[in-house]
Chains A and B, each alone.
Chain A
C-alpha cells in the first residue's frame, strides 16, 4: 500500500526565518512522483513543488526546496525567508497507481510577524 505520513500537525515560524516540514512515505514503486501542496483558507490547493524519484537532484522553486532521501523514504520541505503569505496548510503527496494523489494529513503553518 502507498502511504504518506506527516508527523507535525502544526508548525510555527518567525517571519524571515526558515522552517522545515517533514514527510515520510511508503511505496513499492521504483519510479514515482512526490509533491508539496499549499492550501490557504480559500481552500484552493496550490502546487508548491514536485520531485521525480529518479532524479537525484533536490527540487527547488524560489524560496521552497526539498530534501529528498529516497532510501529513507523522506521528503521534507524547507521554506526560506518565510513570509506572512506562506501561512497555510501544507500537504505532502505521492503519485498513486491510478494517477491520483495520496495525501498526508497536513501541517498547519503559522507565520509570526
Chain B
C-alpha cells in the first residue's frame, strides 16, 4: 500500500512569506506527528494529532506555526511570516494507534529554504 506522502518535496520561499506543508498519512492511521530536522540537529518534535485533535501545541516553535488535520487524514503545517531560522526539513509520520508501540512510518519530508 501507499506510504506517507508529503508535498511539496522542496520549497524555497522569501522571508516574510507564508508557507503550507502537506502530509498524507497511511490510510487508517489515527495518529500523525510532525517533526523538524534542522541542519546539524536531530529531529525536533513539533506536534501530534490523535484523529483531528491536537491536544498539546507546546512543541510548536512559535505562534507563527500552526497545524490542522481534517477528516482524520490529511494534515497541513502552516508557517506564517517565515524567517531564515525556519529553514529545515519537515518530516511527517503516521501511526496505526496512538501510544501503542510507537510504530511510526515516516514520509520523505519537505525541505524548506527561506531566503
Contact = CB atoms under 8 A, between A and B. Distances in A.
Interface stretch (B17-25, B75-83, B101-109): B101-109
Interface residues of B, number: 27
Interface core residue of A4, A43, A50 (most chain B CB under 10 Å): A43
Contacts of A91: 42-43
Contact of A33 (B45, B55, B101, B108): B101
Contacts of A42: 108
Interface of B: 31, 33, 35, 40-43, 45, 48, 50, 55-56, 89, 91, 93, 95, 98-99, 101-104, 106-109, 111
Nearest to A96: B45
A45 B102 contact: no
A102 B45 contact: yes
Contact of A98 (B56, B89, B107): B56
5 contacts: A33-B102, A47-B103, A98-B45, A98-B99, A102-B45
Contacts of A45: 91, 93, 106
